[in-house]
Amino acid sequence: MLLSSQSYQVYSNDVLKLYSEQLRDSINLNLHKPESLGKSGPNIKFPVTIIFDSQHKMTYPRIINTFDFLSIDALIPETIIVGVPFNFNNRTYLTSDQRKEGDSLMGIERMERFLFKELIPKLKSEFKANDFLMIIGHSRTAFLVNYLLTKQSSNINVAVALSGFYKEHPLNEGFFEDYLGNNENFPRPTQYFITAGTSAEETSYKTENDALSTYFSNASIAKNLDLNYSTNAHATHMVNFWMSIPQILLNSYEEYGLIINNWLFNKLEDATNEQPIEEFKSDLTKLNEKLSLNANPSITHIFSFASHYLNTKDYSTAIDFVSLGLDYYPDYLDFYPLIIELFQQSNDEKNRNKYIEIYKKKIAADASLSDPEKNNRLKSY
């Protein structure tokens, strides 16, 4: 018996190697592309998540597994995930005001330039990234997140600072609070999440986060900035890192996650919903308006809703949903047997045959399939 496995269900587990002019060094990044990216149409793009501290061998895989699980369930959109590692030698330098001899730039400035002048443009040009950006950091890299929020607030949609602090140069005393309180600094909706554990190890981080939360309970915060503070009971320093992520993802993408829930338990049974496909498109449009997130439907959305209408023998609406899925993901092969079946049930032989031919061509062109796999897919047609 031959067994095989992969690290994640819908995300790759790659390494992106590059030389950074800004960091003046080579760097190996963790890169996790959603499965649907390679199956998507030329104009489809994906949000980006950058996670600092990806070198942690126990915490980081659990975080990616969280993204994987929630993406499969369509509770969050699929996103391009990049893990940025920090080691013993560069961790403090790249997250502080330290300068190397003869350099006019602080290490934290070099990291900012690497992210926004090199990495993110590369993700947009080579990996179909869109403008939606979430950044996640812990401890010293949470300070990096706080620093970036004051330098790149117009480019950050979600900032997550776990077990973080903000009272260190170059964030001078009072500067961070003043920045978060200024409406001009946040031209579009921005979510800011901070967490701390309640263990003794987390005391200093909890003290700073408590102070920030208390400050804004008595002072105005920028109208486009949504500050969310929570604690994890008894969590130690590293435990707070991975414990915080699931709930933050559910909260930050709440409107996306509600789509699957509302449809499965409400809209699919609503007899007055005469144009389900237009209603679903409207849900996606509302996400862009509320979160500045140009969201793609998930494959789970398409299969769930199409299967419902197939089972109720509303073949026309089921075809609408699969057709929408193919608009986004024309190379996702599993859509084709479903739409062929739907046209067969509709007694539409012309379109059935049309999609059989398209399916055959897609199978032949798919380099990821072995010859036995191709023959297995073709044998029914």
pLDDT for res 367: 92
Nearest to 34 by CA among 73, 4, 72: 72
Q: Give the tens place of pLDDT for each residue, 94-132.
A: 999 999 999 999 999 999 999 999 999 999 999 999 999
CB 74 within 8 Å of CB 155: no
Phi-psi map region of 299: left, alpha, beta (phi>0 left; psi -120 to 50 alpha): alpha
Q: What is the pLDDT of residue 6?
A: 57
Using one digit for the tens of pLDDT, what is the confidence trace for 23-43? 999 999 999 999 999 999 999
Distance CA 313, CA 311 (A): 5
**Can you give the pLDDT at residue 291?**
84
How high is the pLDDT of residue 381?
85
Tens digit of each residue's pLDDT (9 = 90 or more) over 148-158: 999 999 999 99
DSSP code for 285:
H
Please give the torsion angle defined by the CA atoms of residues 63, 68, 69 and 71, in that order, rounded to the nearest 10 degrees. 120
Q: Give the model's pLDDT for residue 20.
A: 97
Q: Split the chain (381 residues) into runs of 10 and give each run's mean pLDDT.
A: 65 96 96 96 96 91 96 97 92 96 97 98 97 97 98 97 96 94 96 98 97 96 98 96 96 95 91 90 90 91 96 96 98 97 97 97 94 91 85
pTM of the model: 0.95
Comparing C-alpha atoms, which of 235, 32, 20, 60 is closest to residue 141?
A: 60
> Which secondary-structure segment (H or E) carries 174?
none
| pLDDT at position 2 | 47
Tokens of 368: 């990821």
Predicted local confidence at residue 3, as pLDDT: 46
